[in-house]
A and B are shown apart, each in its own frame.
Chain A
């Protein structure tokens, strides 16, 4: 089983919709979690870290569910510019090798 798994999508949603992605991780000892965004033919960039209590950054909300071993990303009021691939990361320790999930593709349609 892969260390980190994601629904590859694609998710095709209209502008203004709310969309949620899940990412499951296999190592129950994982402590640090992140969401990255990757635009077509570009390098990935950090979108947000995921904290135990959940955190919000504008239209984006990240949640952690340790019992079920998944993290989620909720995007409200989707914009065309949100179209990208979203990658998750789960780390056991600060010194752990950084393994990415396969990514979930989002297309926001006018």
Chain B
């Protein structure tokens, strides 16, 4: 039982390159989230998916796209990376409905040069 896994753990991109961050969970949770965390800014919600087949924008969605591939997987895509997207990206899940606990993956550290 791995919980929430993220790949890759670390990535270096050049400006303009694209990449997809992967997130998978084996907790049978309905809701999945992508956050970014920058020094002094805390965790900011990029996109979330309340259930399979639905996605919604969070606080800072510009420059990102997401896909809820199935109940287990929620990917985050950067089509044209910019230095401002250098950050630590966390995926999180919760069961949906009721008192909610967020379970986080270990994070992906992204550096855009």
Closest Cβ of chain A to B41, distance in Å, is 7
Query: Which listed residue (A6, A36, A42, A103) contacts B102, Cβ 8 A?
Result: A36
Known: A43-B107, A45-B104, A46-B102. A98 touches B92 (CB 8 A): yes
Binding site for A on B (CB under 8 A): 33, 35, 40-43, 45, 48, 50, 56, 58-59, 90, 92, 94, 96-102, 104-107
Binding site for B on A (CB under 8 A): 6, 8, 32, 34, 36, 42-46, 49, 87, 89, 91, 94-95, 97-103
- CB <8 Å contact, A98 and B97: no
Residue contacts A-B, CB under 8 angstroms, 10 given? A6-B42, A49-B99, A87-B42, A91-B100, A95-B97, A98-B48, A98-B92, A99-B58, A100-B35, A102-B41
Interface of B is mostly: loop
Query: Which listed residue (A8, A43, A46, A91) contacts B40, Cβ 8 A?
Result: A8
Q: Which 9 A-B pairs have the closest CB atoms?
A: A102-B42, A43-B104, A100-B43, A46-B101, A103-B42, A94-B97, A97-B48, A94-B98, A44-B104
| Closest residue on chain B to residue A104 by CB atoms | B42
Report how far A49 CA is from B101 CA in the complex, Å.
8
| Closest residue on chain B to residue A5 by CB atoms | B42
- CB <8 Å contact, B101 and A34: yes
Q: Across the interface, which residues of B come within 8 angstroms of A94, CB to CB? A: 96-100
Report how far A95 CA is from B99 CA in the complex, Å.
10
Q: Across the interface, which residues of A come within 8 angstroms of B90, CB to CB? A: 43-44
Report how far A44 CA is from B106 CA in the complex, Å.
9
